Amino acid sequence: MKKYYIETYGCQMNESDSEIVRGILETEGLIRTESLEDADLILINTCSVREKPEQKIYSRLGKINKILPAENNAKIGVIGCMAQNLKSDIFRQNNNVNFVLGPDSYRKLPEIIKTHREHIAFTDLSKTEVYEELFPSRSSGMNAWITIMRGCDKFCTYCIVPFTRGRERSKPVESVVKEIEDATNRGFYEITLLGQNVNSYNYEGNNFTDLLKKIIKNEKIRRIRYVSPHPQDITEELLKVHRDYYPKLANHIHLPLQSGSTKILKAMNRNYSQEHFLSLVKKIREYVPNMSITTDMIVGFPGETREDFEETIYVMNKVKFDTSFMFKYSPRPYSRAYKMDDDVSEYEKSERLTEMIDLQKEHTLLRNKEMIGKEVEVIVEGYSKKSNAEMMGRTSSNKIVIFPAVDSSGEKIKIKSIIKKTIIETKGVTLFAK
């Protein structure tokens, strides 16, 4: 039996795609190995969103060549966004790579693993590929990723994703429902709907909220999450569903701000202003007062002055995000900003990022402290990393809670159970309960 090995970089979409790829390979009779040296097929699912992850992947590929024994005949494939971005250039950079597959070309895998041709690249982007009827081989755990749409039509000027992932397209409603049924039948309790702009879902007139309403009725699902929504498509209709279905629909929205400066937002092609973003947050909190709001922010976009950066700090102080992902701007090929002057110095970018991270830490702690004394619903995921006397679980707002492994009557707490816990302490991003 042939064995495959897979490594995944980048976002949840890539994690989910790796599960699709694994499903395809396992249907072909390959089995997974965790050992690189053992594998007949090595796949690296890659990310291009910033320069750093790309460099990391190149050095990883170099290392793989060194790790593999000289007589090794394993085929090496680079797949995902970097494959799409660099296409057959990858062969020039690393001659040991045998094939390159972009995110819309995974159906070529069965053909590719049977051929002896070297240096093949399939990188056509599709307007329709949603990998329907292919059941992913899911990683064990609580949560099943369900990709409901692919691609991005937003063209934020800094971003490479519309070029590596192609145009937006949505999976048929029935197909999503079927995939979720399959996941819940296999014991997954939590469903995370995925898409580059998950709430831009639109299939034959069914929008994201219509889809959510259909899914939410599935009684085997204990919790539903979704990432990443675009602020543009957060509707009142969606907020009503949040209000009506909490805690089954998680009280968490990831709302990427990118910048707090209206001028920079415009240059980024983010189609909202600072005022609009703040009023959206206000509206979200009117519907769901305890909604956890997380975000993505970029420092040092071309033309960002100290004053622009302070506008972002202003928004952070107004909203007090629960957590955020913060990045230095990195010029990406194909994107419109690539042609702009990358005029914020590396020193300035680092200063701004550090300032932002420090402020975010304060806000995270503040948000977590607000939870002390409150009772929350926790889905138990397993034992804590530190000890078997403690277990860990996740709140509807996506926060990790650590608590004793036995309840007050001395009973062992079961994995996957839903329990009520009162938060007593917070350290860093983690909450502790009685």
Which positions touch ligand SF4 (CB under 6 A)? 152, 154-156, 159, 161-162, 196-197, 230
Q: Residue 10: left if φ>0, alpha if ψ -120 to 50, beta else—which one?
A: left
**Cα–Cα distance, 356 to 358 (Å, whole number):** 5
Q: CB-wise, 161 or 284, nearer to ligand F3S?
A: 161
Residues 182-211 that bind ligand SAH (CB under 6 A): 196-197
Site track for ligand F3S across 55-94, x = CB under 6 A = -------------------------xx-------------
Select from 51, 33, 53 the least CA-distant residue to 43.
Answer: 33
Per-residue buried b or exposed e for 295-330, using 16+ beta carbons within 10 Å of the residue's own CB: bebbbbbbbbeeebbebbeebbeebbbbbbebbbbb
Cα gap 406→379, rounded to integer Å: 15
* Among ligand SF4, ligand SAH, ligand F3S, none, residue 298 binds (CB under 5-8 Å by kind): ligand SAH
One of 7, 40, 182, 296 touching ligand SAH (CB under 6 A): 296
As measured in angstroms, the least distance from the Cβ of 270 to ligand SF4 is 8
Q: Which does 155 bind (CB under 5 to 8 A by kind): ligand SAH, ligand SF4, ligand F3S, none?
A: ligand SF4
Using CB distances below 5 to 8 A depending on partner kind, what does residue 134 bind out of ligand SF4, ligand F3S, ligand SAH, none? none
DSSP class per residue in 364-414: HHHHHHTTTT-EEEEEEEEE-SS-TTEEEEEETTS-EEEEESB-TTSPBPP
Give whichever of 270 and 394 is closer to ligand SAH, judged by the CB atom.
Answer: 270
Tokens 């701000």 sit at which residue? Answer: 257
The CB-of-426 to ligand SF4 minimum distance in angstroms stands at 31
Please, which of residues 143-172 interact with ligand F3S by CB under 6 A? 161, 164-165
Please give the residues from 147 up to 176 whose contact with ligand SAH meets the rule CB under 6 A.
Answer: 152, 158-159, 161
Cβ proximity of 391 and 383 under 8 Å: yes
> What residue is closest to ligand SAH based on CB?
296
Assess 332 for contact with ligand SAH (CB under 6 A): yes
- Give the CA distances from residue 404 to residues 392, 398, 432, 433, in Å, rounded to whole numbers and listed in that order: 9, 19, 9, 8
Among residues 109 and 156, whose Cβ is nearest to ligand SF4?
156
Q: For residue 406, what are its two tokens?
A: 């036995």
- By a kind-dependent CB cut-off of 5 to 8 A, residue 83 interacts, out of ligand SAH, ligand SF4, ligand F3S, none, with none
Return the SS3 of 7.
strand
Contact segment (CB under 6 A) with ligand F3S among 11-19, 23-31, 89-97, 298-306 equals 11-19
Beta-strand ranges (E) seen in 47-89 are 75-80
| Residue 302's binding partner out of ligand SAH, ligand SF4, ligand F3S, none, with CB under 5 to 8 Å set by partner kind | none
Q: How many residues bind ligand SAH (CB under 6 A)?
A: 18
Of the residues 5, 10, 284, 298, which one makes contact with ligand F3S according to CB under 6 A:
10
Cα–Cα dist 307/156, whole Å? 22
Q: How many CA atoms lie within 13 A of 299 on its CB side?
A: 24
- Draw the binding track, 225-244, toward ligand SAH (x: CB under 6 A; -: no contact): ---x-x--------------
Q: Side chain identity at 407, as an amino acid letter?
A: D
What pairing do the DSSP bridges indicate for beta strands 149-150 and 169-170? Answer: antiparallel
List the one residue from 16, 18, 48, 324 that touches ligand F3S (CB under 6 A): 48
Site for ligand SAH in 244-283 (CB under 6 A): 256, 258
Contact 21, 43 (CB under 8 A): yes
Rounded CA gap, 244 and 69, in Å?
Answer: 58
In the chain, the amino acid numbered 124 is D
Q: Would strands 324-328 and 292-299 be described as parallel, antiparallel, or unpaired?
A: parallel
Write down the least CB distance from residue 109 to ligand SAH, Å. 25
Give me the least distance between CB of 324 and ligand SAH, in Å please.
Answer: 9
Closest CB to ligand SF4 among residues 164, 384: 164
Report the distance separating Cα 374 and Cα 397, nearest Å. Answer: 13
**Smaller CB separation from ligand SAH, 196 or 426:** 196
Size of the site for ligand F3S (CB under 6 A): 12
Which residue has its beta carbon closest to ligand F3S?
10
Q: How far is the CB of 320 from ligand SF4 (least distance, A)?
A: 23
Note the residues at the interface with ligand F3S (CB under 6 A): 10-11, 13-14, 47-49, 80-81, 161, 164-165
